[in-house]
């Protein structure tokens, strides 16, 4: 997971890698407690993903 997260952050336009990361996160047990999250980095990644999706939709 750690390597996949790093890859997604380094390759923000790789839609397939992002989907794989989201699927793996979904498959994890709900009662698992996660460590601290860099909210600025996550917010930036999420916003960039949304812009990318919007750009792809309007092409």
pTM: 0.49
**What is the C-alpha separation between 29 and 38, in angstroms, rounded?**
21
Number of domains in the chain: 1
User: pLDDT at position 13, please?
Assistant: 92
User: Which residue intervals of the chain are DSSP H helices?
Assistant: 2-10, 15-27, 39-58
From the first residue on, what is the mean pLDDT of each consecutive set of 10 residues in the chain (59 residues)? 93 93 85 74 89 79
Give first-to-last CA distance, the chain, whole Å: 32
Full residue range of the structural domain in which residue 51 is found: 2-28+36-58
User: pLDDT at position 7, please?
Assistant: 95
Element (H, E) at 13: none
């Amino acid at each position: 997971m750690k390597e996949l997260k790093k890859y997604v952050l380094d390759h923000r336009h790789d839609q397939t890698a992002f989907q794989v990361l989201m699927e793996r996160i979904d498959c994890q047990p709900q009662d698992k407690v996660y460590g601290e999250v860099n909210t600025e980095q996550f917010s930036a990644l999420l916003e960039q993903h949304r812009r990318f999706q919007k750009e792809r939709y309007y092409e």
